Amino acid sequence: MNVAILAAGQGKRMHSDKPKVLHRLAGRPLLSHVLAAASALAPRRICVVCGHGAEAVRAELERDPGSAGVAWVEQKPQLGTGHALAQALPHLDESAPTLVLYGDVPLIRAQTLRALCDLAGAGVALLSVMSEDPRGYGRVVRRNGAVARIVEEKDATPDERSIREINTGILVAPTAGLRRWLAQLSNDNAQAEYYLTDVIALAVAEGLTVSAMQAPAPWEALGVNSRVQLAELERSFQRNAARTLMEQGVTLADPARIDVRGRLHCGRDVSIDVNCVFEGEVSLGDRVSVGANCVLRNVRIARGTQVEPFCHLDDADIGERCRIGPYARIRPGTALATDVHIGNFVEVKASSIGEGSKANHLAYVGDTTVGRNVNVGAGTITCNYDGANKHRTVIEDDVFIGSDTQLVAPVRVGRGATLAAGTTLTKDAPEGKLTLSRARQVTIDSWKRPKKKVKGEV
């Protein structure tokens, strides 16, 4: 099988300088979703026909895993869907049928496409939808129950406009047949374009069987032509994602208030509160709970860990039975071992924190290796940046760091050491000893607090 994806439209109703197929749904470009569905079919060849913003589309999508081996073609000028598919023909294997998809129809499922291809056999099959409001769509015209042709609304008669079965544009046809039929297309129509839909009547005229399969779910075949439609499809995607999670045993406080913008893998008895966003690859182990208003991106969280509300976790590995937040930020390159506590307004970046250690209040731990059973007091910061380079701090096992301490990297705190509150550490602290650095406290007996001057006073 070949797959041709038509993605040349400008999307004028989006009112955007960005090509329509690069607008994002669930965190990914529309075209990325279509490429994923196409790749799942393991086709011989995939060809994407671009037009408006072709260079930007290709540059963005070539970073997508589903674009490997894709042939990119530019349609210039843009003379309709039939003309667009004709640009792809030189890149298709004529011995295999071709499946035609659209770069702005992101929710189409691979299983639906497989069923459509099976239905086509050696003939032609198109995907249709029964609509209560078919305005704006091409109608499937049948004769004695069989598909005869597709008529666009602007060219339809009043009787044809009353037809409720609409054409989605997605079809499967013999590639050799498409080559013949596309060569016969005319642009003698209301839009002066070469309609791909006209190949249906040509196939019927040749005696080929043309079948129509209704999409199992109407939202699969919906396209994006405006910001309103994009938002509607986003909600459809998220509703489906939420339903899938709940069917797998995840507890969602409100299925309408979760956003999955990547892949979310959950173990048993996972619970997720409202307004949480999951981006990239996120894995939640058994009995993990995520509080309200959290953002998790490329995070792996082991079983039994509790993430309190308003936390941001990015590209990190979190061990078992940890407690994070509320209002904590875990930045890239962080690894937390078992039973670690990261509390209120604590930020951790590019650091490893050992089993049983805790930083419960108002701290910054950056470029640091923290051992086991370490206490990081409130207001502690690791001063890891000298204005040009980053330096590392090492805090060994069983260290107690008092509040309002600054560790000026590179520096090492030995095993079992204690740093007194208010210490600024610029040299290594020996193990098992108390280290402190403070200015001498002085009380000025004769000092008086300044007072505001009274008006008129000299």
Which helix or strand (DSSP H or E) is residue 366 part of? strand 364-366
* Residue from 91, 265, 361, 391 carrying the catalytic annotation: 361
In sequence order, the β-bridge partners of residue 34 are: none
Q: CA Rg, the chain, in Å?
A: 31
Distance CA 126, CA 365 (A): 58
Helical (H) or strand (E) element with 229 = helix 227-247
Phi, psi of 147 (to 5 degrees): -65, 125
| 361 in catalytic set | yes
Q: Return the bridge partners of 349, or none.
A: 366
Structure token pair of residue 15: 């009112």
CA distance 392 to 386: 11
H or E element at residue 86: helix 81-88
- How does DSSP assign 322-340, residue by residue? -EE-SS-EE-TTEEE-TT-
- The answer to whether 252 and 243 are in contact (CB under 8 A) is no
| CA distance linking residue 426 with residue 382, whole number of Å | 11
Query: Exposure of 409 by Cβ count < 10 A (0-12 exposed, 13-18 middle, 19+ buried)?
Result: buried
CA distance 418 to 402: 8
Q: How far is CA 364 from CA 295, 297, 314, 373, 414, in A?
A: 19, 20, 16, 18, 20
In sequence order, what are the residues at sequence separation of 6 or more whose Cβ sits closer than 8 angstroms to the Cβ of residue 377? 361, 363, 400, 401, 402, 403, 404, 405, 421
CB-based contacts of 265-269 (< 8 A; 24+ apart in sequence) = 267/303
Angle between helical axes of 54-61 and 30-39 (0-180°, round to 10): 60
Active site residues: 361
